[in-house]
Chains A and B, each alone.
Chain A
Amino acid sequence: GNSVTQMEGPVTLSEEAFLTINCTYTATGYPSLFWYVQYPGEGLQLLLKATKADDKGSNKGFEATYRKETTSFHLEKGSVQVSDSAVYFCALSDKGNNRLAFGKGNQVVVIP
């Protein structure tokens, strides 16, 4: 079935550092791909998405490119802020049955 794999473990980095969170997926066909963010004490909210191969999603300085050849959708930000501290989830939506599959999430902590 469809699945999403995110790199293990929390990510701790200093303010203004470069952030990368890896996401790879397994799916039949051509799913839509998403990054959701969860700030402390809140529900998840959409950060960005890409619906076809080579599409780049971007929002709030974050970017991710849908790479079909490597089945990846890595999240990047060039200069993180303390306010970017949150849990980040990669997800895919199967066009066939409309279900979303989420990765396990990565806690990101940005230190001033």
Chain B
Amino acid sequence: EAQVTQNPRYLITVTGKKLTVTCSQNMNHEYMSWYRQDPGLGLRQIYYSMNVEVTDKGDVPEGYKVSRKEKRNFPLILESPSPNQTSLYFCASKLGGPTGELFFGEGSRLTVL
């Protein structure tokens, strides 16, 4: 089954404790992206990747890191989480090109205390 898989789905952590949210897709998509969803702000892009070893900042990259060492994986790293990073995070992927459908994971709800 074609899918984007994120882990963990739910996480409660404390300020400053490094964490990684994994994302994996099985559709051989070139493009992958991370978004955060907050009430009243909609979906905002954190980082995206056009292909292996190619990553770019989105609209809200501060406090986050990503890597794209393999085509299928695109982990999101919070080196020193802060409470303002409490949010619902979505990973998504699609084939290259501007008209393709974006496939989303089910989301990871992160709470930073």
Contact = CB atoms under 8 A, between A and B. Distances in A.
Contacts of B97: 98
Contacts of B105: 43
A36 B90 CA distance: 14
Interface of B: 4, 31, 33, 35, 40-45, 48, 50, 58, 90, 92, 96-99, 101-107
A29 B45 CA distance: 21
Interface residues of A, number: 24
Nearest to B58: A99
A15 B82 CA distance: 43
A105 B38 CA distance: 11
B90 A44 contact: yes
Interface stretch (A18-26, A78-86, A89-97): A89-97
B99 A46 contact: no
A98 B42 contact: no
A103 B48 CA distance: 18
